[in-house]
Structure 1
Amino acid sequence: MPSEYAEVQVRPGGEDDLASLTDLYNHYVRETAITFDTSPFTPEERRPWLLSHPVDGPYRLMVATDGGPRRILGYATSSPFRPKPAYATSVETTVYVAPDAGRRGIGTLLYKALFEALSDEGLHRAYAGIAQPNDASTRLHERFGFRHVGTYREVGRKFDRWWDVAWYEKEL
């Protein structure tokens, strides 16, 4: 990893991170089809999302920082896969990396910390939906043992075009 990232720290996210996390996510809302949200959020609108990721899991939020108090390089989450009780042992995972921090191993550090945190949660499977094309995300997920299980064709519409979502799963 380049020396500028030698001080990267990964830790659970918290209330003090809300504004920075919202800014990072809003970049992807405005500029990409990686998320299917179409309108940017205020920090207050994102607060319920933040609060749905308590430190004691199984729905976690891990953030990577450059060692400074607020410079968020990226985050990874586990969230409920579906709301019905029989899905409780499955989670959906995701990673977002700051646009200027890509291709430096931040996603790998985040997923490593996330899966370590989830290892004692009694979970059975993790799922990830990847809007296509997204080779970097596909490579990251495959590196962590996810395998492709199917693709929803033209399931999302953003920026006046249709987007496919490839679904991946990983045994926990």
Structure 2
Amino acid sequence: MASKRSEVQVRPGAEADLEALTDIYNHYVRETPITFDTAVFTSEERRPWLLSHPEDGPYRLMVATDGDTQEILGYATSSPYRTKHAYATSVEVTVYLAAHAGRRGIGTLLYQALFEALADEDLHRAYAGIALPNEASTRLHERFGFRHLGTHREVGRKFGRYWDVAWYEKEL
């Protein structure tokens, strides 16, 4: 039986989530242009990414779970926008859902929790890059007040073709 939106719980990510989070991400690596990674990851290869998102600070990992089964349905992160220190008050945000978990409001729940967790951090802007076409992601970001800044045309090549990436910005 599928979980209803009210049964989804959102919490900070933990090291015990690594395998499930890696599986979710690898689906997008193998099957979609949503990420421009082209080779799947082992959990151990993905561990530094998970550890770079502690429970406090500007770089967070929020995980959505099924309230009954505790299955991980998706995650949202805030990560460094760029490495130079002057960018420290900007983050890049993203959401990934399990392949079967779309169209249930889970992305909305994840972003609500993420932006609530970031509210007291010294942050000024959030940025999101969306490989096009991706209407669901575009709608989600616009729902949270992101505005379109511009599109990098044919910036990435995957599956034998070039993909555009639209960039969005939100004031924090």
Same fold (TM over 0.5): yes
TM-score (norm 1): 0.97
Deviation readout 1:28-67 (Å, 9 max, x if unpaired): 0000000000000000000000000000121000000002
**How far 1:77 sits from its partner (Å)?**
0.1
Instruction: Assess if the C-alpha contact under 8 Å between 1:20 and 1:70 holds in 2.
Output: no
**How far 1:7 sits from its partner (Å)?**
1.7
Equivalent in the alignment of 1:19: 19
Whether 1:119 aligns to 2:153 is no
How is 1:16-165 mapped onto 2 (pairs within 5 angstroms)?
A: 16-67=16-67, 70-165=70-165
**How far 1:70 sits from its partner (Å)?**
4.9
Instruction: Assess if the C-alpha contact under 8 Å between 2:12 and 2:60 holds in 1.
Output: yes
Alpha-carbon distance in structure 2 between the residues aligned to 1:87 and 1:96: 24
Alpha-carbon distance in structure 2 between the residues aligned to 1:74 and 1:21: 8
Deviation readout 1:73-101 (Å, 9 max, x if unpaired): 00000000000000000000000011111
Alpha-carbon distance in structure 1 between the residues aligned to 2:120 and 2:111: 15
User: Matched residue of 1:25: which SS?
Assistant: helix
Superposed CA RMSD: 1.2
Alpha-carbon distance in structure 1 between the residues aligned to 2:153 and 2:47: 32
Which runs of 5 or more structure 1 residues have no equivalent in the other structure? none
Match for 2:47: what amino acid?
R
Deviates more, 1:5-14 or 1:105-114: 5-14
Alpha-carbon distance in structure 2 between the residues aligned to 1:25 and 1:3: 21
Instruction: Assess if the C-alpha contact under 8 Å between 1:17 and 1:70 holds in 2.
Output: no
Alpha-carbon distance in structure 2 between the residues aligned to 1:163 and 1:3: 34
Match for 2:104: what amino acid?
R
**How far 1:5 sits from its partner (Å)?**
3.7
**How far 1:4 sits from its partner (Å)?**
3.3
Which runs of 5 or more structure 2 residues have no equivalent in the other structure? none
